[in-house]
Amino acid sequence: MPERTLLLTGFGPFDGVADNPTARIAAALDGMPLAGWRVVGELLPVAWPRAGAQVAARVAALDPACIVHLGVAVQAQRVRIEAKAWNHLQFRVADADGAQPLTGQVVPGAPELLTPAIDAAALVAHLQRLGVDVELSDDAGRFVCNATYFSTLQGFADRRALFIHVPLAGDLWPIPRLTLAVAHALQWLVA
Ligand code: PCA
Protein backbone atom coordinates (compact mmCIF):
# COMPACT_ATOMS: atom_id res chain seq x y z
CA MET A 1 0.00 0.00 0.00
CA PRO A 2 1.43 3.42 -0.88
CA GLU A 3 2.38 5.72 1.96
CA ARG A 4 -0.28 8.10 3.15
CA THR A 5 0.55 11.64 4.12
CA LEU A 6 -0.17 13.36 7.42
CA LEU A 7 0.16 17.14 7.18
CA LEU A 8 1.29 18.58 10.53
CA THR A 9 1.28 22.36 10.88
CA GLY A 10 2.72 24.69 13.52
CA PHE A 11 2.45 28.46 13.74
CA GLY A 12 5.06 31.20 13.80
CA PRO A 13 5.29 34.19 16.16
CA PHE A 14 2.44 36.54 17.00
CA ASP A 15 1.53 39.21 19.53
CA GLY A 16 3.09 38.25 22.88
CA VAL A 17 4.54 34.95 21.62
CA ALA A 18 7.95 35.55 20.06
CA ASP A 19 8.89 31.87 20.04
CA ASN A 20 5.90 29.71 19.20
CA PRO A 21 6.52 26.17 20.51
CA THR A 22 4.32 24.71 17.78
CA ALA A 23 6.81 25.79 15.10
CA ARG A 24 9.45 23.70 16.86
CA ILE A 25 7.17 20.72 17.40
CA ALA A 26 6.11 20.61 13.73
CA ALA A 27 9.76 20.86 12.66
CA ALA A 28 10.83 18.16 15.15
CA LEU A 29 8.15 15.72 13.95
CA ASP A 30 8.62 16.42 10.23
CA GLY A 31 9.53 13.01 8.77
CA MET A 32 8.90 11.15 12.04
CA PRO A 33 8.71 7.39 11.56
CA LEU A 34 5.09 6.31 11.46
CA ALA A 35 4.36 2.97 9.77
CA GLY A 36 2.78 3.46 6.35
CA TRP A 37 2.71 7.24 6.74
CA ARG A 38 4.81 10.22 5.78
CA VAL A 39 4.62 13.11 8.24
CA VAL A 40 5.11 16.50 6.57
CA GLY A 41 5.72 19.39 8.95
CA GLU A 42 4.75 22.87 7.79
CA LEU A 43 5.02 26.33 9.30
CA LEU A 44 2.00 28.64 8.99
CA PRO A 45 1.93 32.41 9.49
CA VAL A 46 -0.34 33.71 12.26
CA ALA A 47 -2.20 35.71 9.65
CA TRP A 48 -5.67 35.36 8.22
CA PRO A 49 -6.53 34.47 5.46
CA ARG A 50 -2.91 33.71 4.51
CA ALA A 51 -2.74 30.68 6.83
CA GLY A 52 -5.87 29.19 5.25
CA ALA A 53 -4.54 29.76 1.73
CA GLN A 54 -1.27 28.05 2.62
CA VAL A 55 -3.10 25.03 4.03
CA ALA A 56 -5.25 24.80 0.90
CA ALA A 57 -2.14 24.91 -1.30
CA ARG A 58 -0.41 22.19 0.71
CA VAL A 59 -3.52 20.01 0.69
CA ALA A 60 -3.70 20.37 -3.11
CA ALA A 61 -0.01 19.50 -3.46
CA LEU A 62 0.24 16.66 -0.93
CA ASP A 63 -3.26 15.14 -0.89
CA PRO A 64 -2.95 14.28 2.83
CA ALA A 65 -5.17 11.62 4.39
CA CYS A 66 -5.03 13.41 7.74
CA ILE A 67 -4.27 16.98 8.88
CA VAL A 68 -3.18 18.02 12.35
CA HIS A 69 -2.87 21.71 13.19
CA LEU A 70 -0.93 22.79 16.27
CA GLY A 71 -1.25 26.14 18.02
CA VAL A 72 -0.22 27.57 21.37
CA ALA A 73 -2.87 28.65 23.88
CA VAL A 74 -1.11 31.09 26.17
CA GLN A 75 -3.32 30.52 29.23
CA ALA A 76 -3.48 26.73 28.88
CA GLN A 77 -1.98 24.55 31.61
CA ARG A 78 -2.45 21.32 29.68
CA VAL A 79 -2.70 20.09 26.11
CA ARG A 80 -6.15 20.68 24.59
CA ILE A 81 -7.74 18.51 21.95
CA GLU A 82 -10.12 20.83 20.11
CA ALA A 83 -13.45 19.15 19.31
CA LYS A 84 -15.13 22.13 17.61
CA ALA A 85 -14.38 24.92 15.16
CA TRP A 86 -16.59 28.01 15.05
CA ASN A 87 -17.43 30.09 12.01
CA HIS A 88 -16.54 33.37 13.75
CA LEU A 89 -13.74 35.89 13.38
CA GLN A 90 -13.19 38.00 16.48
CA PHE A 91 -9.48 38.62 16.93
CA ARG A 92 -8.46 39.68 20.46
CA VAL A 93 -5.17 41.03 19.06
CA ALA A 94 -3.95 41.90 15.58
CA ASP A 95 -2.52 39.04 13.55
CA ALA A 96 1.01 39.05 12.12
CA ASP A 97 -0.21 41.08 9.12
CA GLY A 98 -1.79 43.70 11.41
CA ALA A 99 -5.36 42.61 10.67
CA GLN A 100 -7.88 42.46 13.51
CA PRO A 101 -11.38 41.54 12.35
CA LEU A 102 -13.81 41.95 15.24
CA THR A 103 -16.79 40.45 13.51
CA GLY A 104 -17.56 38.24 10.53
CA GLN A 105 -17.44 34.63 9.45
CA VAL A 106 -14.44 32.50 8.56
CA VAL A 107 -16.30 31.05 5.56
CA PRO A 108 -19.32 33.21 4.69
CA GLY A 109 -22.50 31.16 4.48
CA ALA A 110 -20.95 28.02 5.98
CA PRO A 111 -22.43 26.41 9.12
CA GLU A 112 -21.93 27.99 12.53
CA LEU A 113 -19.96 25.05 13.84
CA LEU A 114 -17.94 22.17 12.37
CA THR A 115 -16.64 19.08 14.12
CA PRO A 116 -13.88 16.73 12.96
CA ALA A 117 -14.53 13.17 11.78
CA ILE A 118 -12.21 12.07 14.57
CA ASP A 119 -13.31 10.94 18.02
CA ALA A 120 -11.63 13.70 20.03
CA ALA A 121 -12.87 12.33 23.39
CA ALA A 122 -11.39 8.91 22.61
CA LEU A 123 -8.05 10.55 21.81
CA VAL A 124 -8.13 12.44 25.12
CA ALA A 125 -8.83 9.19 27.00
CA HIS A 126 -5.98 7.46 25.18
CA LEU A 127 -3.50 10.23 25.92
CA GLN A 128 -4.57 10.34 29.57
CA ARG A 129 -3.88 6.60 29.83
CA LEU A 130 -0.36 7.35 28.57
CA GLY A 131 0.05 9.94 31.32
CA VAL A 132 -0.28 13.03 29.12
CA ASP A 133 -1.86 16.00 30.93
CA VAL A 134 -4.60 16.70 28.37
CA GLU A 135 -8.21 17.85 28.20
CA LEU A 136 -11.05 18.03 25.71
CA SER A 137 -11.94 21.56 24.57
CA ASP A 138 -14.89 22.84 22.60
CA ASP A 139 -13.56 26.38 22.23
CA ALA A 140 -10.49 26.94 20.05
CA GLY A 141 -10.80 30.72 20.50
CA ARG A 142 -11.81 33.19 17.81
CA PHE A 143 -8.36 33.96 16.45
CA VAL A 144 -6.21 32.51 13.65
CA CYS A 145 -6.13 28.99 15.14
CA ASN A 146 -9.90 28.61 15.15
CA ALA A 147 -10.17 30.19 11.69
CA THR A 148 -7.58 27.76 10.29
CA TYR A 149 -9.35 24.81 11.90
CA PHE A 150 -12.73 25.89 10.58
CA SER A 151 -11.54 26.45 7.02
CA THR A 152 -9.67 23.13 6.98
CA LEU A 153 -12.75 21.24 8.18
CA GLN A 154 -14.89 23.09 5.64
CA GLY A 155 -12.54 22.44 2.73
CA PHE A 156 -11.30 18.95 3.54
CA ALA A 157 -14.02 16.60 2.36
CA ASP A 158 -13.68 13.73 4.85
CA ARG A 159 -12.82 16.02 7.81
CA ARG A 160 -9.94 13.83 9.02
CA ALA A 161 -8.45 16.92 10.62
CA LEU A 162 -7.77 17.90 14.19
CA PHE A 163 -6.55 20.94 16.07
CA ILE A 164 -4.33 20.53 19.13
CA HIS A 165 -3.56 23.51 21.37
CA VAL A 166 -0.49 23.24 23.58
CA PRO A 167 0.62 25.36 26.56
CA LEU A 168 3.55 27.74 26.32
CA ALA A 169 6.88 25.96 26.64
CA GLY A 170 8.56 26.37 30.04
CA ASP A 171 9.64 24.47 33.13
CA LEU A 172 6.40 22.48 33.31
CA TRP A 173 6.22 21.87 29.58
CA PRO A 174 9.69 21.72 28.04
CA ILE A 175 9.64 21.31 24.25
CA PRO A 176 10.48 17.56 24.36
CA ARG A 177 7.47 16.92 26.62
CA LEU A 178 5.17 18.87 24.29
CA THR A 179 6.62 17.08 21.28
CA LEU A 180 6.11 13.66 22.85
CA ALA A 181 2.47 14.45 23.65
CA VAL A 182 1.86 15.38 19.99
CA ALA A 183 3.75 12.31 18.76
CA HIS A 184 1.49 10.09 20.90
CA ALA A 185 -1.55 11.80 19.37
CA LEU A 186 -0.26 11.23 15.81
CA GLN A 187 0.36 7.54 16.56
CA TRP A 188 -3.23 7.13 17.76
CA LEU A 189 -4.62 9.03 14.77
CA VAL A 190 -3.02 6.74 12.20
CA ALA A 191 -3.51 3.45 14.07
N1 PCA B 1 -2.08 30.36 18.67
C2 PCA B 1 -3.05 31.34 18.22
C3 PCA B 1 -2.72 31.58 16.78
C4 PCA B 1 -1.40 30.96 16.55
C5 PCA B 1 -1.12 30.16 17.73
O6 PCA B 1 -0.14 29.41 17.89
C7 PCA B 1 -4.49 30.92 18.48
O8 PCA B 1 -4.75 30.17 19.45
O9 PCA B 1 -5.37 31.34 17.75
Mean pLDDT, the chain, rounded, equals 97
15-24, 152-161, 170-179: the lowest-pLDDT one = 152-161
Q: Is the C-beta atom of 86 inside 6 A of ligand 1? A: no
Q: Is the C-beta atom of 163 inside 6 A of ligand 1? A: no
Distance between Cα 9 and ligand 1 center (Å): 12
Average pLDDT over residues 46-62: 97
CATH superfamily of this structure's domain 4-190? Peptidase C15, pyroglutamyl peptidase I-like (3.40.630.20)
Question: Could you tell me where the DSSP H helices lie in the chain?
Answer: 21-29, 50-62, 120-129, 144-155, 175-190
Q: How far apart are CA 142 and CA 154, in angstroms?
A: 16
Q: Which of 25, 69, 72, 92 to mutate to test the pocket of ligand 1 (most atoms within 8 A of CB)?
A: 72
